[in-house]
Structure 1
Amino acid sequence: MWKNHPKALPYLFLSEMWERFGYYLMIGIFTLYLKDVEAGFAMTEKEASDLYGTFIALVFLTPFIGGLVADRYLGYRKSIVIGGLMMGVGYFMMGIHSLPMLYTAMTLVIVGNGFFKPNISTLLGNFYSKEEYLDKKDEGYNIFYMGINIGAFICNFFGAALQILLGWHYAFMAAGIGMFIGVIVFLLGTKHYAGYDHKKGTQEGDMSFLRIVLFILLPSVIFGIIGWFLKGTTSDANPASYIFGSDSTDAFVFACIPIIFFYGSLYFKAKEQDKRPIGALLSIFAVVILFWAVFKLNGSALTTWADRYTDREVTGTTEKVFSTLVQSKEITYEKASTELYDAKFRLQKENGEVVKVDDYPIYFRNVSKEKLPQEGSKISVWATNLSQSINPGWVIILTPLVVAFFTFLRTRKKEPSTPTKIAFGLLISALSVLIMVAAVHIGNNGTEKVSVWWLVANYGVITIGELFLSPMGLSVVSKLSPKNITALMMGGWFLSTSIGNKLSGVLASMWDTYDDKANFFWVNFCLLMFATLIMFALVKNLNKVMREKGIN
């Protein structure tokens, strides 16, 4: 796999693998931890989804400033190490049961990711600027992307085992250890980064850091505060008079305005030869927001689907295997408590109250009568967060096939351009949502649990879309960005991811408002189809820009 690629690739691959091990272990249990009434914070679905959406949005917003600082002042290597250490400490603190500590830990992860994420991707791209590696860039990013998903796949097994055996804190500690291993691996490859890690400094026409603080970051904070306190129209459906759904969402949307304005100004102030490439990137950034809005439901709405609506019971040999690996737990069927929960749930729904009962939705409340065990008997179920390993599992399986497919087309000079790949990625992702629409109908709108294979199929299809889009996005930023702002434009890619992530939290927070869950997924389908149509409309012009740059 490493043949004909830069010698630094294995180190960057493994560093990113361990970093993603920590991040996805943490994110896989995050909403479950928030909603846990005994050892967590007893949050409602809406509260947990809103905090989750804000968190992952900010995690992908800070690469904007992290990329800029690395470009001008620190260089990539120092930024990556600083970011990794901050994230590792944040993960260790996250399991301490205190809201102030939780928010402090989240802040460390948010800032640390800002230093780590854009700069390791940009450093990788620098190695493919050499003539001998130019035509290998897409393949290199696909390999790098597989490293991300190996970490994301294995982490949930550790997270489930540690949470079941020892508790939430030890699971978060494992995330921190994974992050520190990633930093160590990165440092071991230092000798291979020589000549590719130089900081570019401030170029002619660039804004000074002071001006960025005064004219971007400070306005962003001020706009965020305005968004927090500014109120919209009060109604029965919106008694708190939020503008976009919650105080945190309002603040985030307003805070993004100065940053979006800054990226738009890059186009108008750019040199003539840089205008079209920057414009092409900005249009791609805008379109992929909707992809991330739906894709990132894996940590919220789709985790809820796995928890409440998926048949997670394991029996026979499967039960023995899961018990051995400590990723299953026994639960007892108590008819009275199930009926009590159901009554509370219905009563709160009928009165229009926020649904917040004393515990998670009891597993047996939507098990068909013929499958209910005897009163007082126990069954084994696999841990909910293991559903988070389905998507990265598919990535590991499908990445070699997708790489081989595009290599086959390349040898016949029929490989589609990077923008075309992104357009098809959006279309395939839209089709994946139809699987969940079918799953809702099979389960009679949640009155019966459905097979986990519906989730597996959904993740399988959207993973193909992801492989057509996400690594291609990293690649196209590296290809089209003017050299003096490469990391800054990589931060722009993550800014679009950030906005999409926040929109994902907004979508997930409305889960309980949909009586027919199929309508929730139909909304997601329409969003992705809208993005698909726009992207295909842009492809011709984007391909022209790529040809002007002499790249595909």
Structure 2
Amino acid sequence: MWKNHPKALPFLFLSEMWERFGYYLMIGIFTLYLKDVESGFAMTEKEAADLYGTFIALVFLTPFIGGLIADRYWGYRKSIIIGGLLMGAGYVLMSVHNITALYVAMTLVILGNGFFKPNISTLLGNFYSQEKFKTKKDEGYNIFYMGINVGAFICNFFGAALYILLGWNFAFIAAGVGMFIGVIVFLLGTKHYVGFDQKKGVQEGDMSFGKIVMFILVPSAVFGAIGWLIKGVESASNPNAAIFGSDSTDAFIFACIPVVFFYANIYFRAKSEHKRSIGALLAIFSVVILFWAVFKLNGSALNTWADRYTDRQVTGVSEDVFNGLYLAQEIEYKKDSVAAYDAAFRIQKEGDKVIKEVNYPIYFRNVAPEKLPEEKSKISLWATNLSQSINPAWVIIFTPLVVAFFTFLRNRNKEPSTPTKIAFGLLISALSVLVMIAAVKAGGNGAEKVSVWWLVANYGIITIGELFLSPMGLSVVSKLSPANITSLMMGGWFLSTSIGNKMSGVLASLWDTYDDKSNFFWINFGLLMFATLLMFALLKYLNKVMRENNIH
């Protein structure tokens, strides 16, 4: 596999694999841990989804700054090492069951990802700028992308075994250990990075870092603080009087205002020969926000679906295997464990005293009566977070097929343009939501649990959409960006991802407000179809801009 590729590729592949092992292990159990009433923080669905959305939004916002600092001041090697150590420390700190420690840990992960994520990809690209490797660039990135998904696939099995056997804290520690292994592997390849990991410095025409701080970071911080402090109308459904549902959402939306204004200003102040390219990129950024809003439900609403609405019981040989590998938990059935509400606890007030009534386990609340076990008998359930390995498994399966498909079309001069691929990616992603609508209908709107194959099918379809869209987005940024603001425009891509991630958290926080869960998924389908129609409407303009720049 490594033949005819730079000698640094195996080290970068394994470093990224272990980094993604840690990140996706943490993400796979994050909302489950927050909602656990016995060992977690007993958060409601809304609270957990809101915190999750803010977290992954900020995780994808910092790569913009981390990339600029590496480019101009620290260099790639130093930035990657610092980022990896910060992330590893953050994962380990999550093992401390304390809300302040959790917020500090999340901050470390947010900062660490900003330094690690963009710079290891950039470093890899530097090796393929050599003439002898130029024709191998796409293949090299495909190998690298497989590393990401191998890490994302295997991590959930370790996470499940550790939290079942030893508790949540050990699962988080394992995520940190994975990240530290990634840093060690990266250091082992140091000799191969010489001459490719140096900072570029400030280039002619680059916006100074001082201006970026003054015109983006400071205004965002100020607006974010204003959003946090401003209150809306208090009501029974909005006890905190937040304008957009929660203080963190208010702060994020307000913080984005000056950043969006900044990118709009780039367009209006651009030279005439660059204006159409920048406009095309901003249009694409705006549309793909809705893709990320639905795609990132995997760690929140779809994790909830796997936990509460999916038949996770294993029997026979499967039960022996899952129990032997500590990938399943045994739970005891008691008639009084069947509750008529969708949470693991309810909050009652007696005067000023708040009482949390724990009602464990809740798994049996929507099991068909004829399928209920005998009183006080035990059944085995595969761990919920294992469902998070379905998407990376599909990526590993589909990536070579999608690459082969586009190669086939290219050889016949029928390969669609990059914007066209993105448009079809949105359409395919929209179709995946229809699977979940059918799953809701099959389970009688949550009255009975349904097969895991519904989730497998949903992830399979949206993974194809992801492969049509995500790599293509990064490609179109590199193709259309004016040379002097490529980093800024790449930051725009990460900004759109970040806003989409936060919107995903907002969508997931509304889960319990829908009595008919199919309506939740119909909203998601509508958002993706709106994005699809908008993208197809823009195709003529976008393809014309691509042709004007002599790119496909």
- Shared fold (TM-score, shorter chain, > 0.5): yes
Q: Tell me the SS of whatever aligns to 2:405.
A: helix
- State the alpha-carbon separation in 2 of the partners of residues 285 and 336 from structure 1: 50
- State the alpha-carbon separation in 1 of the partners of residues 187 and 221 from structure 2: 35
AA aligned opposite 1:124: L
Q: Report the RMSD for the aligned CA atoms in angstroms.
A: 2.4
- State the alpha-carbon separation in 1 of the partners of residues 371 and 26 from structure 2: 33
- State the alpha-carbon separation in 1 of the partners of residues 536 and 132 from structure 2: 31
AA aligned opposite 1:337: S
Does structure 2 retain, via aligned residues, the 8 Å contact 1:122–1:478? Answer: no
Q: How does 1:57-72 map to 2 (within 5 A)?
A: 57-72=57-72
- State the alpha-carbon separation in 2 of the partners of residues 120 and 396 from structure 1: 20
Aligned-pair CA distance for 1:359: 4.4
Q: Tell me the SS of whatever aligns to 1:61.
A: coil
Q: Tell me the SS of whatever aligns to 1:532.
A: helix
AA aligned opposite 2:388: Q
Aligned-pair CA distance for 1:236: 5.3
Aligned-pair CA distance for 1:404: 1.4
Does structure 2 retain, via aligned residues, the 8 Å contact 1:49–1:300? Answer: yes
Does structure 2 retain, via aligned residues, the 8 Å contact 1:34–1:43? Answer: yes
Cα distance change on mapping 1:355 and 1:418 into 2, 3 Å: farther
Q: Tell me the SS of whatever aligns to 1:95.
A: coil
AA aligned opposite 1:370: E
Q: Deviations over 1:372-423 (max 9, x none)?
A: 0000000000000101011111111111111111122222222222221111
Q: How does 1:167-178 map to 2 (within 5 A)?
A: 167-178=167-178
Does structure 1 retain, via aligned residues, the 8 Å contact 2:344–2:362? Answer: no
Aligned-pair CA distance for 1:222: 0.9
Q: Does 2:218 match 1:218? A: yes
Task: Specify the alignment match of 1:351 in structure 2.
Answer: none
Aligned-pair CA distance for 1:149: 1.1
- State the alpha-carbon separation in 1 of the partners of residues 106 and 343 from structure 2: 36
Does structure 2 retain, via aligned residues, the 8 Å contact 1:44–1:355? Answer: no
Alignment size in residue pairs: 547
AA aligned opposite 1:174: A
Q: Normalising by structure 2, report the TM-score.
A: 0.93
User: Structure 1 unaligned runs (5+)?
Assistant: 349-353
Deviates more, 1:36-45 or 1:453-462: 36-45
Task: Specify the alignment match of 2:46 in structure 1.
Answer: 46
Does structure 2 retain, via aligned residues, the 8 Å contact 1:92–1:172? Answer: yes
Does structure 1 retain, via aligned residues, the 8 Å contact 2:79–2:119? Answer: yes
Cα distance change on mapping 1:157 and 1:35 into 2, 3 Å: same
Q: Deviations over 1:162-206 (max 9, x none)?
A: 111111111111111111122222233334444443323223443
Task: Specify the alignment match of 1:277 in structure 2.
Answer: 277
Greater length-normalized contact order (CA 8 Å, ≥ 6 residues apart): 1
Cα distance change on mapping 1:237 and 1:482 into 2, 3 Å: same
Task: Specify the alignment match of 2:412 in structure 1.
Answer: 412
- State the alpha-carbon separation in 1 of the partners of residues 318 and 368 from structure 2: 21
Task: Specify the alignment match of 2:121 in structure 1.
Answer: 121
Cα distance change on mapping 1:48 and 1:359 into 2, 3 Å: farther
AA aligned opposite 1:444: G
AA aligned opposite 2:37: V
- State the alpha-carbon separation in 1 of the partners of residues 101 and 297 from structure 2: 26
Does structure 2 retain, via aligned residues, the 8 Å contact 1:242–1:250? Answer: yes
Aligned-pair CA distance for 1:304: 0.4
Task: Specify the alignment match of 2:462 in structure 1.
Answer: 462
- State the alpha-carbon separation in 2 of the partners of residues 266 and 300 from structure 1: 35
AA aligned opposite 1:51: L
Deviates more, 1:495-504 or 1:472-481: 472-481
Deviates more, 1:363-372 or 1:212-221: 212-221
Cα distance change on mapping 1:403 and 1:111 into 2, 3 Å: same
Aligned-pair CA distance for 1:496: 1.0
Task: Specify the alignment match of 1:198 in structure 2.
Answer: 198
Q: Deviations over 1:38-75 (max 9, x none)?
A: 21111111111111111111111111211221222122
Q: Deviations over 1:339-389 (max 9, x none)?
A: 5878998999xxxxx997524661111000111000000000000010101
Does structure 2 retain, via aligned residues, the 8 Å contact 1:118–1:494? Answer: no
Task: Specify the alignment match of 1:494 in structure 2.
Answer: 494
Q: Deviations over 1:108-164 (max 9, x none)?
A: 000011111122223333444456666655554443322211111000000000111
Q: Tell me the SS of whatever aligns to 1:380.
A: strand
Does structure 1 retain, via aligned residues, the 8 Å contact 2:346–2:358? Answer: no
Task: Specify the alignment match of 2:324 in structure 1.
Answer: 324
Does structure 1 retain, via aligned residues, the 8 Å contact 2:205–2:484? Answer: no
Q: Does 2:472 match 1:472? A: yes
- State the alpha-carbon separation in 2 of the partners of residues 285 and 313 from structure 1: 42
Deviates more, 1:337-346 or 1:212-221: 337-346
AA aligned opposite 1:112: G
Q: How does 1:301-450 map to 2 (within 5 A)?
A: 301-339=301-339, 358-359=358-359, 362-450=362-450
Q: Deviations over 1:301-328 (max 9, x none)?
A: 0000000000000001111111121100
Q: Deviations over 1:235-272 (max 9, x none)?
A: 55445432211110000000111222222333334444
Aligned-pair CA distance for 1:2: 4.4
- State the alpha-carbon separation in 2 of the partners of residues 540 and 141 from structure 1: 29
- State the alpha-carbon separation in 1 of the partners of residues 160 and 531 from structure 2: 36
Deviates more, 1:363-372 or 1:126-135: 126-135
- State the alpha-carbon separation in 1 of the partners of residues 465 and 342 from structure 2: 38
Deviates more, 1:334-343 or 1:243-252: 334-343
- State the alpha-carbon separation in 2 of the partners of residues 400 and 484 from structure 1: 34
Q: Tell me the SS of whatever aligns to 1:21.
A: helix
AA aligned opposite 2:476: V
Deviates more, 1:489-498 or 1:276-285: 276-285
Does structure 2 retain, via aligned residues, the 8 Å contact 1:422–1:473? Answer: yes
Does structure 2 retain, via aligned residues, the 8 Å contact 1:139–1:403? Answer: no
Q: Does 2:514 match 1:523? A: no
Does structure 1 retain, via aligned residues, the 8 Å contact 2:437–2:521? Answer: yes
Q: Tell me the SS of whatever aligns to 1:331.
A: strand
- State the alpha-carbon separation in 1 of the partners of residues 38 and 451 from structure 2: 28
- State the alpha-carbon separation in 1 of the partners of residues 124 and 537 from structure 2: 31
Cα distance change on mapping 1:136 and 1:263 into 2, 3 Å: farther
AA aligned opposite 1:37: V
Q: Tell me the SS of whatever aligns to 2:251.
A: helix
Cα distance change on mapping 1:422 and 1:86 into 2, 3 Å: same
- State the alpha-carbon separation in 1 of the partners of residues 440 and 264 from structure 2: 41
Cα distance change on mapping 1:29 and 1:283 into 2, 3 Å: same
Cα distance change on mapping 1:421 and 1:195 into 2, 3 Å: farther
Cα distance change on mapping 1:300 and 1:360 into 2, 3 Å: farther
- State the alpha-carbon separation in 2 of the partners of residues 198 and 479 from structure 1: 23
Cα distance change on mapping 1:72 and 1:46 into 2, 3 Å: same
User: Structure 2 unaligned runs (5+)?
Assistant: 349-353
AA aligned opposite 2:57: A
Cα distance change on mapping 1:236 and 1:339 into 2, 3 Å: closer
- State the alpha-carbon separation in 2 of the partners of residues 125 and 528 from structure 1: 32
